[in-house]
Amino acid sequence: MIINKFKKIAILFLICTFNSCAQKNKKKDFKNMDSNFSRIENLHKEIKHYDTETMYMIKADQSACFYELFVNDFLVFRHFEQTSLLGHAVSINDAILKSGLQEVTVKLYPIGEYKGKNYNTFSKNAEIEILIEKYDNANEDSDDEEVLKIKIPQIENKDNLIRIKGLPYYEHTFTFNAEVPYTLKGWSESQDLTKMDKDELEKEVVTFYKSFRNLIKLKQSKEIEDQIYSREKEIAQSNFYSKEKLKKLTTELKSNLITPIDIPPLEKDYKLVFYGNGNVVKLESKKYKSINNNSALSVIDELNYIGKLRKAKVFLSLALHKPKGSNKLEIIR
C-alpha cells in the first residue's frame, strides 16, 4: 500500500487547499514564534488508537464529464479539468461520524466548451466509475479492499437502466456500510441553518470569516488555535493521526495561519453554501469554483515546487455550524 496516494491533490500547481498542501514543501523557521500550537500538537495524547483502524477512500475514473463527490452531504472532491484522474483516491473518514450507512452522492456535469465545440449535454462517451475502498491503518501490511463499485451509466439491475446521454445534468445517490471504531459528534446535533433567515445568516458568516482573517493578520495564535481545536481534534481522531503526523500538521498550521506571506481580502464574489444536510455552512468563491476547497478566505504562502520556492494561494476551509443550544457560529470542518 502506498500511503501517499491518499493525499488530496491540488488542481493547479500554485493553488492548494488548507488541508492538502504538503508540509514537507514548507521552508520556515518557527523557533522564535510566541505560539507553538501546543494543544493541537499534543492531541496525540487524546487520540484513541485501536487494533483495527479502518480508513475509507473514494476513487473516481471519469470520461467526457466533470463531477463532484459528496459523502454524507459533504463535498469531498470535485474535478472540472479536461483530464482524467485514473486511480486518484481521497480519504473520506472525516466525513464519517460513526459506523453505519453512509450516503454518497455523485453529481455529473457536461464538459462545456472543448476543442471549439460546446457540450452542454452528455455525449455517448460520458461515463464515470466510483469505487469505495478501505484499508487498516493499524496494519502496515493491510491491502486495499473493495467495499463498493458503481458505474454510470450502467445497468443496476434488470429493471433499472441508467441513461445520461443527452442530459444537461445527472445526480445519483447510493449508500455503503462503514465500520469505524470511533464516534464523533460533529454536526450531528447542530442546528438546521437553512431554517434561519438567509440574509441574517449570511451577515453572521461573513462577519465570522472577516474576524478570523483579522486574527491571522494580527497573528493572534492562541485565539486561532482555540477556534480550530475542535475541528483538528475530530479530523485527527477519524484519521488516527500519529504524534509525527500532528507535529507536521502543527508546522503547516503555523505557516498558513500565523506567518503567511500575504492575506488577500475576503472574496467579494462568493456564495453561501450548505452542507451536512443544512447543519453546516461555508462561504465559497465563485471565481475559483473548480477548486476543491474554494473558500472565500485564503492566504498566500510559499511552497517548494520542483526545487523552486513559489507563491501559492492556500484556501482556508471554514465550515461553520451552530451547536445545539448555542447562537454562536463555530468551526467544525
Instruction: Write down the domain spans for the chain.
Output: 25-48+186-331, 54-178
3-state secondary structure of 134: strand
Tell me the per-residue pLDDT of 290-307, one tens digit each, with 9 for 90 and over. Answer: 898 999 999 999 877 777
Beta strand segments in 125-253, E: 127-136, 145-152, 155-157, 160-161, 170-178
Q: How confident is the model at residue 28 (pLDDT cuts 50, 70, 90)?
A: low
pLDDT for position 302: 83
Q: How confident is the model at residue 101 (pLDDT cuts 50, 70, 90)?
A: very high
| pTM attached to this predicted model | 0.87
Least confident piece of the model among 66-80, 109-123, 150-164: 150-164
Taking Cα atoms as reference points, which of 153, 311, 333 lies closest to residue 227?
Answer: 333
pLDDT for position 24: 39
What is the C-alpha separation between 274 and 321, in angstroms, rounded? Answer: 10
Least confident piece of the model among 124-133, 154-163, 278-287: 154-163
Tell me the per-residue pLDDT of 29-44, one tens digit each, with 9 for 90 and over. Answer: 545 454 579 999 999 9
Tell me the per-residue pLDDT of 178-218, one tens digit each, with 9 for 90 and over. Answer: 999 999 999 999 999 999 999 999 999 999 999 999 999 99
Q: Cα angle vertex 108, ends 239, 1, to 5°?
A: 30
pLDDT for position 72: 98
